Amino acid sequence: MDTKEISLLIERILKSMSGMQLSESTVLSYKRSAFAPIRKYHMKFGMNKYSDGLTAEFIAIQKERLRVGGISTRYFRKLQRAANILHEFSETGNFTWRVYTEAKLPNSQYLRQIYASFISSLRISIADGTIKGIKSILTDFLLYLEENGHKDFQGVHLTDIHYYLVKIS
């Protein structure tokens, strides 16, 4: 790559993303909530040029925030993807938008049935792209419930939902 100025790299990446079959909202979301914080971290240290080391340091900080519940797994994955894209683009001048396999489903048969029924009910009136997002959120929520000792909805309280929503915010 001829230049490694971080702002220019991000601008070129976003332009490439716009040319892919990604929604405008996805591109905008990555611009604001994934690439902007990485760029801001570079600027905090007076670095206009992209640095693998600073980006890795930023991701390590975010990983710790994830560990203590400061950010959601979903947001961490978005930041990690943005960091990987920046690295690949800075090295090659190009990047591949990788589609990752779906997260594992809960072990509880009851929660799996709820998942399948709910997703099936959406197919009637909601676009596939929207369903993908809902599947991801629903899977994350059901796994959260299961990790917190719930095998069904009988013992789920308002506080469980509250803590989950705070976790993903």
- Per-residue pLDDT tens digits for 78-112: 999 999 999 999 999 999 887 765 568 899 999 99
Q: pLDDT over 90 for what percent of the chain?
A: 64
Q: pLDDT over 70 for what percent of the chain?
A: 96
> pTM for the complete prediction?
0.61
Instruction: Report the chain's mean pLDDT, rounded to a whole number.
Output: 90
Position 102 scores a pLDDT of: 57
CB neighbour list of residue 7: distance below 8 Å, 6 or more residues apart: 39, 48
